[in-house]
Amino acid sequence: MAWIRSKNDHCFNVLRLNTAGRDIIRRAPQMSDQQLEQELDHYFHNKGWRSGERVEPKQVNQNTKGKEPSQKEVPNVRLTDTQRSKISDKLSQVFKKAHKTKELKEVIETIDNQSNEVKKLITETYNNVHVLPSKNSVYMPHQKAIYFDLNSIRENGENGYSKNEVLFHETGHAIDFNYKGEGRGETASENYISQKYNKTLEVMLAEEARTLDFGKIEKELYTKEGYYKIKEETQPRLKELTKEFRSLLRSSSPDIKAKRDKIQVEREVLSTKYFDTTHKLQRKYSSLSDMSQAFTGNKFEENGGHGISYFSAGPHGTVNKSANEFFAETFSSKVRNDESYELTKKYFPKTTGIFEEILKVKGVSK
């Protein structure tokens, strides 16, 4: 196969291409190298590439890049040039070293489009924390460091996030943790007492979560999105087609080849349909799914998660991490994912109210 330098390189490019390519990669671990090569070979051939050509990643459609920052009603005080270059300096270790200057610009634009208080919170937070490149995105309270995996901005919605949402998720953790001190148990979500509800976000979250039937919510939302129907329409047929395709792999007769081509086309249509839906579910419902996992142990279908052990052990035997996770998720949704934010508000109206109160108080008090 002359068009690949290494299998990883190959996979990476296919991964970025479209869903049929992803379908192949998904199954790659079960396939022999030869089978994988054959399928990919065939796949590229169908796409009209000649052997030896480098595969260029497909351009992501700008219109589907998740939420674009919305205009707020309150007149926005734009970031000054000094603030912009400060943010840029802070993030440069991650973005500039990886030559992602365009992405860096997008992040700064996103920040500039936030309300004044959110803008202030983010800029102040970036004055206080390190932002460093890493293979995993995580906030480390004791180091006051946001570790950010640049790969998470490569695709949109694939891991349940809109573009750049992960950076703002970790920024949300930093804001939460920088409330009192640096350690667990000292976060805003555990310590700030709401003026309206006379409770912390953590306590309110547990109260509201108890009233929710997450399983039922999942069924309702997923039915509304047409998920079960699409799954039924696509999955069994895709399995059939894969089986059929495999049985035709050995032959090179023109007839069989034509059959394979036909199968590939159908497969591509079906997987596109399926993955478009699942990615949408991931983008929209990952916050709810996280909370479902924290409180019931079950995540939503097709959604990733932290694993139940992640949430369980707070220092006070409480839902500690769930509150921290809620804060970070809601913060990134607010900044970058309208649909997810609206859902959070719908199912956790009071907890979201306290979250907003914290932003207001923190955003103006310093």
3-state secondary structure of 140: strand
3-state secondary structure of 57: coil
Cβ proximity to Zn ion, 245 vs 341, nearer residue: 341
Count the residues of the shown chain that bind Zn ion, applying the rule CB under 5 A: 1
Q: Which amino acid is at 301?
A: E
Q: Which of the ranges 62-70, 72-80, 111-119, 326-334 carries the binding residues for Zn ion, by CB under 5 A?
A: 326-334
Cβ proximity to Zn ion, 153 vs 328, nearer residue: 328
Query: Residue 106's Cα: distance from chain center in Å?
Result: 17
Interface residue with Zn ion among 94, 328, 335, 359 (CB under 5 A) is 328
> Of all residues in this chain, which one has the CB nearest to Zn ion in the complex?
328
Please give the Cα distance from 268 to 68 (Å, whole number): 29
Q: Give the contact letters, 286-325, x = binds to Zn ion (CB under 5 A), - = no.
A: ----------------------------------------
Cβ proximity to Zn ion, 170 vs 302, nearer residue: 170
- One DSSP character per residue, 244-297 reads HHHHTSS---HHHHHHHHHHHHHHHHHHHHHHHHHHHHHHHHHHHHHHHHHHHS
Residue 174 binds Zn ion (CB under 5 A) = no
Residue 354 binds Zn ion (CB under 5 A) = no
Bridge partners (DSSP) listed for residue 146: 131, 139
Question: Would you say 150 and 100 are in contact if contact means Cβ atoms under 8 Å apart?
Answer: yes
Cβ proximity to Zn ion, 284 vs 321, nearer residue: 321
Question: Would you say 72 and 64 are in contact if contact means Cβ atoms under 8 Å apart?
Answer: no
Residue 175 binds Zn ion (CB under 5 A) = no
Both tokens of residue 316? 């006070």
Question: Would you say 327 and 187 are in contact if contact means Cβ atoms under 8 Å apart?
Answer: yes
Residue 167 binds Zn ion (CB under 5 A) = no
In whole angstroms, the minimum distance from the beta carbon of 58 to Zn ion comes to 30
Cβ proximity to Zn ion, 11 vs 328, nearer residue: 328
Question: Would you say 58 and 18 are in contact if contact means Cβ atoms under 8 Å apart?
Answer: yes
Residue 24 binds Zn ion (CB under 5 A) = no
In whole angstroms, the minimum distance from the beta carbon of 102 to Zn ion comes to 26
Residue 25 binds Zn ion (CB under 5 A) = no
Contact footprint for Zn ion (CB under 5 A): 328
